[in-house]
Structure 1
Amino acid sequence: MGLNEKPLSTLHEKQSYNLDDFEVPAGREEAWRFTPLSRLKGLHNGTAAASGHVVVDVDAAAEVTVETVGRDDPRVGKAYVPADRVSAQAYNSFEKATVLTVPREAVTSKPTIVTLTGSGDGAAYGHIVVRVEPMAEAVIVLDHKGSAVYADNIEFVVGEGATLKVVSLQDWDDDAVHVSHHHAQLAKDATFRGFVVTLGGDLVRLSPSVSYTAPGGDADLLGVYFADAGQHLEHRLLVDHSTPNCKSNVDYRGALQGQDAHAVWIGDVIIRVEAEGTDTYELNRNLILTDGARADSVPNLEILTGEVAGAGHASASGRLDDEHIFYLQARGIPYDEARRLVIRGFLGQLIEKIQIEEIRERVLTALEAELAR
């Protein structure tokens, strides 16, 4: 398949399965200007040797069907078309895809845990498809760990009246590089709740996106990240409202500490001419804990119709509030503990929304470890 005839937007100009339709990034392009290309280890220009390994292990709920399929399976690539060169490279390079199917009207008895464990010096590529059929409900956890140079695409296809909740945890080793696109396609009255937690890795660039095929879709995209010295954590979101009367809410929060800790958040929301009645809001907040850390936050709202129920965005980056620290110290709490309490409160408001207790406690423990450094 070649380029789409209709551009996604002025911010997202093309989609294609064909790698040759995308030029090699030079770093001056809007989509790549924040990403340190030299640290991608060849994922962006095709020089990465495909000698690495990422093992996919699935602990599925009894109601979920798990399949390993070839590239020719018609369910692969049906909901998402790559929108940049790394995504297209991943699509053209994976050998086997994992397909998870939740049957019609099923309510899964437990979360399905997908563990992706990296090893090896070279690059690896992957593809996952999650299909939730009409009126079904499921919870999926994507747990990334190990050392890897990894690029992948994940498709979430949520059927009419269905509900899918996803937690994606990036808990890579310190040397890992991960570039990933997560796309949720929502049918009529479908609900998607996505939660991203990014803690590990040398460079992580995640691109969650949402599209709607019929009215009534409702997407909630939440994220928490903590960048340490030298880490580059980048989240680039796209919500494409192309049908009437759909909702979206985006709330990402991050904390940064250490020299050259760098967080990038790009939030793109498009409301097309035909998407009357859209209700959307996006928010990004960053807490910069030390000198030498940097946060770039760019919310973009492209509205092509005047008939919307609501549309807004906000972004803020700043340091710890001295008044909050003073308030706690005045009540006998030492400075270090007061600092931890303020940061936990800032990120914890979102972390508490993780409904899986085991994952929530793991994230809180990891946060404590970060703050103790």
Structure 2
Amino acid sequence: MTATDTPTAPHLATAERFVPIQTRSERPTSFDPTDFGTPTGREVNWKLSDRKRLAPLFVDEETETGSSLGIDYGVDELVERGLLVESTGVDTAPRGEIFRPEDVVSAIAWKRSPNALHIRLPEGAVQDAPVIARLVGQGADRHANGHIVIEAMPGSVGTIVLHHSGSAQYAQNLEIIVRDGARLTLVSVQDWDDDTVHASAHQAVVGEGAYLKHMVVSFGGGVVRVNPSVRLAGHRAEGELFGLSFADAGQHIESQVFLFHEGVETRGDVLYKGALQGTGARSVWIGDVLIGADATGTDSYEKNQNLVLTDGARADSIPNLEIKTGDIAGAGHASATGRFDDEQLFYLESRGIEEEEARRLVVIGFLMEIVQKIGVAEIEARLEEAIDEELRRGAGMAPATKAGA
């Protein structure tokens, strides 16, 4: 059965559409945008979202710019290294091998993206240098849809960075396939201008003995909603999901994370950290972990931490854990949101460090734990610079000149 003729999930019948789906594993899927309808805010996956600013992405129509012309895909490096695979049509494998839209934005992006950008790491090959694909928005008034397939073939090793910048209204699907024995690091950096609206659905599957490090880093953009879903399908599959965000006044940064332990003896670790400052700064994190009935020997942990730097900022954090077998190695979750630790500030100030610099050191120390996990010096340097820019802006200082990643 092809992706286009997949039947509509029965959960989406009109009479039942207003019954909230509370369990993450029961969320319906469909390739037809009309099966979802326009979000009302009563749906569990939309109730904390900025639906007003996301509204342009709810419209299913061909735009003046076409499917993807609102985004300039920087693929020169991919072509030079032989990692770009021609991919046309919604039925061209491996597109649709694992991806199933879970909301109207994702379904529209599927429908309106006739061609997928397909990046493939060759079987058994080790990429010594990271692969950086630069996606640049062509204007906040330009709407774009996109589908990207990232495929790590058996035994391959590599790091792929998707760096987003510029301005756009961009709906994106990202399909990640980590074949048996492969080791993939995938970093998605949202470094948008402040007028951007960006919603992205990441869906990944990890095969036997394979490993995926998945990272979401969001600084720029007016509204940025990146929802990763990772299925540890193979025996001893491993997944590490890390996130980093910094929300300024008026920014809405959101991630709804789903980690599904399906195979035997799988290991998963989720750690998301966020900082917020300014009136109207908002972050939303929802973390769902499902340990399946056959996932014996699972070891899983998820944690979200938020640092609120000023009045008027708000962080929502909701961790959920669903276990369907009693034979596990361990499972747990945690969430914490708070302000500066007065003891840390007192310790630094007592050693002659001015308050502003002491606060800067506390924030950098809090966020750099995630930055240092990236493993790409160019990106780590840019993010450390971005953190400094955010803190300077919050202190009423002029930001430093922004360097490209």
Asked if TM exceeds 0.5, the reply is: yes
2:58 aligns to what SS in structure 1?
coil
8 Å contact from structure 1 (residues 131, 156) kept in 2: yes
2:23 maps to what in 1? 10
Matches within 5 A, 1:42-61: 42-46=56-60, 49=63, 51=65, 53-58=70-75, 59-60=77-78
Does the alignment pair 1:252 with 2:269?
no
Does the alignment pair 1:183 with 2:188?
no
Residue 99 of structure 2 aligns with an amino acid whose one-letter code is Y
1:315 deviation in Å?
Answer: 0.2
Does the alignment pair 1:167 with 2:172?
no
1:84 maps to what in 2? 103
CA RMSD of aligned residues (A): 1.8
Matches within 5 A, 1:221-236: 221-236=241-256
C-alpha distance after superposition, 1:212-266 (max 9, x if no partner)? 3321110000111000000000011011112221111000000000001000000
CA–CA distance in 1 between the matches of 2:361 and 2:353?
Answer: 10
CA–CA distance in 2 between the matches of 1:317 and 1:47?
Answer: 40
Residue identity over aligned pairs, in percent, reads 45
8 Å contact from structure 1 (residues 187, 212) kept in 2: yes
C-alpha distance after superposition, 1:81-102 (max 9, x if no partner)? 1111111111111132111111
More helix by percentage: 2
Residue 90 of structure 1 aligns with an amino acid whose one-letter code is A
C-alpha distance after superposition, 1:162-218 (max 9, x if no partner)? 000011110001000000011111110110001111000000000011013321110
CA–CA distance in 2 between the matches of 1:50 and 1:195?
Answer: 33
Matches within 5 A, 1:271-282: 271-282=291-302
Does the alignment pair 1:217 with 2:237?
yes
Aligned match for 2:127, one of 95, 102, 108: 108
CA–CA distance in 2 between the matches of 1:203 and 1:250?
Answer: 23
1:62 deviation in Å?
Answer: 2.6
8 Å contact from structure 1 (residues 243, 275) kept in 2: yes
1:151 maps to what in 2? 171
1:343 maps to what in 2? 363
Residue 37 of structure 1 aligns with an amino acid whose one-letter code is R
2:56 aligns to what SS in structure 1?
coil
8 Å contact from structure 1 (residues 57, 114) kept in 2: yes
1:365 aligns to what SS in structure 2?
helix
Residue 106 of structure 1 aligns with an amino acid whose one-letter code is A
Structure 2 vs 1, CA of residues 210 and 5 (structure 1 numbering), >3 Å: closer, same or farther? farther
Q: Which runs of 5+ in 1 are unaligned?
A: none
8 Å contact from structure 1 (residues 62, 108) kept in 2: no
1:364 deviation in Å?
Answer: 0.2
1:33 maps to what in 2? 47
C-alpha distance after superposition, 1:104-126 (max 9, x if no partner)? 10111311111111114132100
- 4+ runs deviating over 4 angstroms: 4-9, 47-50
Matches within 5 A, 1:121-132: 121-132=141-152
8 Å contact from structure 1 (residues 37, 44) kept in 2: no
Matches within 5 A, 1:279-318: 279-318=299-338
Residue 10 of structure 1 aligns with an amino acid whose one-letter code is T
Query: TM-score normalized by structure 1?
Result: 0.96
Q: Which runs of 5+ in 2 are unaligned?
A: 1-5, 13-20, 394-405
